[in-house]
Amino acid sequence: MLINSKPDTFEKLQLLSRDSQYDLACACGSTKDSHRTRGSHGKWIYPITLPDGGKSVLFKTLISNVCSSDCKYCPLQRNADIPRCTLNSEETVNTFLDYYNRREVFGLFLSSGIIGTAEATMEKLITTCEILRKKHQFKGYIHLKILPGSSPAAIEKALSLASAVSLNIETPGKEFMSKLSTKKDFIKDIVEPIKLISKLRSEQKRRIKQTTQFIVGAAGETDRQIVNYTSALYDKVSLNRVYFSAYQRNDSENSEDTQNSEGFIREHRLYQVDFLFRKYNFSQDDIIYDRDGLLSKDLDPKELWAKNHPEFFPVNVNTADRYKLLRVPGLGPNTVENILNKRKVSKIQSIDDISSSGKRMLKALRYLDFGQGPKNKVFLFNF
Ligand code: SF4
């Protein structure tokens, strides 16, 4: 289905930016509410988390929602009866620059459905970036999608223009991808290009970020399989971030929305595991699953680990190293840093010396020892 024979740029952007919401591999938050919320200025403005933890907004759109592929989980798949349209390079560039020059956005996220072939579509994405970089001397942030099946030459060109790139891995293995698409060859179209991007990044002087995304719950994969694949991606191709997007069924498949909310819980737990890998020195072996290979719906993965390792606790707040403190539920990297700094000056006597009391501190109290005798240990076993 095509929209009006001649939709204007505004109409096209409304549609194409809405359709870009499923792609989170551009740091669009990590909670159900934050990453799917769009800004009030226009539907193509999406909030993101910056590498330093700050917040900003991106101009985020597809250049086209036309797609020749047939990914079962995707609302844009070729047989879907949806309005389709395509932006040309000049209208993308000019509209983005209007926002950028008014300082309303931090940068641009550009993706697309596959218009005919990956190569032809990459050419359109690259041309848009070239106009920005060369004609308009734009030096700011561009996150460019690398489409599955892109050639080495297109990947190399994209890396010369972008600040960050992503190619979505979607599933933890080819057996899952083959359930979802007859068009995508998991190894040739996805894994090999991801490896090539990683290799080219390591050879370049410019620091280009590389991310990817899993679709969660579309192919019968377990959380364990996604987590193990995530860990391998960090270790073997040095990805900067892995994102997770819950598969959202349409209404006819799921009138009560139960499956969707379960998908969002899985997505949330996977982000927690990802955080444990990146910030807390957890490894694959530290993650606990149920018999079906799923993460607990009721407890976050860090607290579940603590409850399964009573021999590790209590942790002495005045003598434990950073690694041990980071294992304490309720203590995050900033609080641990605070503890390490404070105890250089004087002994920590109570939870009030660490932080003003809150729910997280009450949780931490159960696992900490302040070196003042058995009084504190009462909390430890009082789960
Ligand atoms: S290639 Fe991308 S846009 Fe096309 S159907 Fe698959 S996921 Fe959707």
Q: Which atom of ligand 1 is nearest to the CA of 68?
A: 4
**Helix 223-237 × helix 192-203 angle, to 10°:** 30
Greatest distance between any 2 Cα atoms in the chain: 78
Task: Return phi, psi of residue 253, to 5°.
Answer: -75, -25
Regarding whether 28 and 138 lie in a shared domain, the answer is yes
* Ligand 1 centroid from CA 64, angstroms: 11
Report DSSP state, residue 90: H
Query: Would you say the C-alpha torsion 6, 11, 17, 21 has a positive or negative sign?
Result: negative
Cα 28 from Cα 48, distance rounded (Å): 4
Q: What is the pLDDT of residues 175-197, one digit of tens each?
A: 999 999 999 999 999 999 999 99
Q: Is 6 exposed, middle or buried (0-12, 13-18, 19+ CB in 10 A)?
A: exposed
Last residue of a domain, one of 286, 320, 340: 286
Whether 1 is covered by a domain: the verdict is: no
* Pair 47, 56: CB distance under 8 Å: yes
* Ligand 1 centroid from CA 16, angstroms: 13
Cα 169 from Cα 200, distance rounded (Å): 18
Look at the chain and count its residues: 383
Cα 213 from Cα 25, distance rounded (Å): 6
Measured by CA distance, the residue closest to atom 1 of ligand 1 is 69
Q: Nearest Cα to 239, choosing from 189, 150, 165, 147? A: 165
Regarding whether 330 and 281 lie in a shared domain, the answer is no
Residues having CB within 6 Å of any atom of ligand 1: 67, 69, 71, 74, 76-77, 113-114
Regarding whether 32 and 128 lie in a shared domain, the answer is yes
Coil, helix or strand at residue 168: coil
Q: Which atom of ligand 1 is nearest to the CA of 148?
A: 1
* Ligand 1 centroid from CA 165, angstroms: 17
Cα 320 from Cα 294, distance rounded (Å): 32
Measured by CA distance, the residue closest to atom 6 of ligand 1 is 71
Measured by CA distance, the residue closest to atom 3 of ligand 1 is 113
Give yes or no for residue 31 having a pLDDT over 60: no
* Pair 242, 234: CB distance under 8 Å: yes
Measured by CA distance, the residue closest to atom 2 of ligand 1 is 113
pLDDT band for 225, please (50, 70, 90 cuts).
very high
Helices first, then strands: H and E counts in the chain? 14, 9
Q: What is the pLDDT of residues 151-179, one digit of tens each?
A: 999 999 999 999 999 999 999 999 999 99
Domain that holds residue 330: 309-380
* Ligand 1 centroid from CA 157, angstroms: 22
Q: Nearest Cα to 210, choosing from 167, 173, 169? A: 167
Regarding whether 41 and 140 lie in a shared domain, the answer is yes
> How does the average pLDDT of the chain come out, rounded?
87
Measured by CA distance, the residue closest to atom 5 of ligand 1 is 77
Q: Which atom of ligand 1 is nearest to the CA of 74?
A: 8
**Helix 192-203 × helix 152-161 angle, to 10°:** 40
* Ligand 1 centroid from CA 113, angstroms: 6
* Ligand 1 centroid from CA 74, angstroms: 6
Last residue of a domain, one of 286, 321, 339: 286
Q: For the chain, how many structural domains are there in total? A: 2
Regarding whether 364 and 216 lie in a shared domain, the answer is no
Q: Which atom of ligand 1 is nearest to the CA of 67?
A: 4
In this prediction, residue 56 carries a pLDDT of: 76
Give yes or no for residue 366 having a pLDDT over 70: yes
> Regarding predicted confidence, which is higher, 211 or 43?
211
Regarding whether 43 and 107 lie in a shared domain, the answer is yes
* Residues 251, 170, 292: CA angle, nearest 5 degrees: 75
Whether 216 is covered by a domain: the verdict is: yes
Whether 302 is covered by a domain: the verdict is: no
Coil, helix or strand at residue 47: strand
Q: For the whole model, what pTM was predicted? A: 0.88
* Ligand 1 centroid from CA 242, angstroms: 18
Task: Return phi, psi of residue 316, to 5°.
Answer: -75, 115
In this prediction, residue 16 carries a pLDDT of: 86
- Please name the helix (run of DSSP H) or strand (run of DSSP E) that holds residue 127, with its range, or none: helix 118-130
In this prediction, residue 377 carries a pLDDT of: 46
Whether 143 is covered by a domain: the verdict is: yes
* Ligand 1 centroid from CA 279, angstroms: 32
Regarding whether 376 and 240 lie in a shared domain, the answer is no
